[in-house]
Structure 1
Amino acid sequence: MKICIIYHSETGNTRHIAQHIASATVDSHLVEVTDLAEHSSLTRFLMQCKAAVSEDTTTIEPSKLDVKEYDLLVFGSPVWAFKPTPAIHTIINTLTGCENKRAVAFVTSGGRPGQSKEVFKKWIESRGMRFMGFTSIDQKDIEDDAKNAGVVAFVTAAAPNLM
C-alpha cells in the first residue's frame, strides 16, 4: 500500500506526528504544505485564525499535488480556532487524482479539536474521496510513544485490505 502523508505544520507538532507515521509505515511519502501568505509576526496568528474560522484558502507550496499513485491519503493539520488550517484546505482543493481514494485526517491541538473532524470530512468528501476516519493528539502527548503508536494504528486500520 502506498501512503501519502500531506500535512501543514507551524510549530513542528504536526510535522512530528506525520514523520512518525511515515517512519512506522511501509511505502509512505511525506508532503509538507507551506503557507506562503505574508503577515507580520504580530498579526500572523490572528489573521490565520480568522481565515480558519471562515474556511478560507491561501497561497501554498506545493501549489498542486497529484496523488493518483497512492492508495491512502493522510491529512494532518494543527487546529486554529477549532478548525484545520487554510493551508491544508487549499491543498485538498488542488489535489488531482484523488477521486475514490481512502483518506484519513489527524490534528494536533492544545486540547480541543473543535469542529476539525466535521470540517475535514466535508472537505475530503467534497473532492470525491472516501473519509475513513479522524483522530487528534494533544500537544502535551506529542512525544508520548504510546499515543504516537495509537495514531499509526489508526492510519493502518483505515485500509486493512491494502496492507
Structure 2
Amino acid sequence: MKICIIYHSETGNTRHVAQHIAAVTTDSRLIEVSDHAPHSALTRFIMQCKAAWSEDKTTIEPSRLDAKDYDLLVFGSPVWAFKPTPAIHTIIEALTNCEKKRAVAFVTCGGRPGQSEEMFRKWIEGRGMRFVGFKSINQKDIEDDAENAEMVAFVTAAGLKPA
C-alpha cells in the first residue's frame, strides 16, 4: 500500500505526528504544505483563523500534487477557528488524479477539533475521494507513545478498508 501523508504545520505539532506516521509505515511519502499568504508575523494567525472559519483558500507550496501513485491519502492539519487550515483546504482542491482514492484526515489541537471532521469529509468527498476516517490528537498527547501508536493503527486500518 502506497501512502501519501500531506500536512500543514505551523508550530510543529502536526509535523511531529505526520513524521511519526511516515517513520513507521512502509512505502509512504511525506509532503509538507507551506502557506505563503502575504501577512505580517503579527497579523498572520488572526487573518488565517478568519480564513479558516470562512473556508477560504490561500497561496501554497507545492501548488499542485498528483495523487495517481498512491493508494491512501492522509491529510493532517492543526485546528484554527474550529476548522482545518486554509493551506490544507487549498492542497485538497489542488490535487490531481485523486478520484476514488481512499483518504483519511487527522488534526492536532489544543482543545476540541470543532468542525474539522465535517470539513475534511466535505472537501475530500467533494473531490471524488472516499473519506474513510478521521482522528484528532490533543497537543498534550503529541509525545505520547500510545497516542502515536493509535494514530498509526488508525492510518494502517484505513488503508486496508476496501475501496
* Structure 2 letter corresponding to 1:30: L
Counterpart for residue 144 of structure 1: 144
Give the corresponding residue for 1:10.
10
Q: Take 2:38 and 2:107, find their aligned partners in 1: how far apart are those partners?
A: 24
* 1:131 to 2:131 alignment: yes
Normalising by structure 2, report the TM-score. 0.98
SS of residue in 2 equivalent to 1:5: strand
Separation of aligned partners in 2, 1:44 and 1:65: 25
Deviation at 1:51, TM superposition (A): 0.1
Structure 1: distance between partners of 2:91 and 2:24: 24
How far off its partner does 1:40 sit?
1.1
- Unaligned segments of structure 1, at least 5 residues: none
In structure 1, give the amino acid aligned to 2:13: N
For 1:97, the equivalent position in structure 2 comes to 97
Give the share of equivalent positions with the same residue, in percent.
78
Give the aligned partner of residue 20 of structure 1.
Answer: 20
Number of residue pairs aligned between Structure 1 and Structure 2:
162
Tell me the CA shift for residue 161 of structure 1.
5.6
Name the TM-score, length of structure 1 as normaliser: 0.98
Q: Distance in 2 between matches of 1:125 and 1:161?
A: 16
Give the corresponding residue for 1:50.
50
Consecutive unaligned residues in structure 2, runs of 5 or more: none
- Amino acid paired to 1:17: V
Counterpart residue identity of residue 134, structure 1? F
Tell me the amino acid that sits aligned with residue 46 of structure 1: I
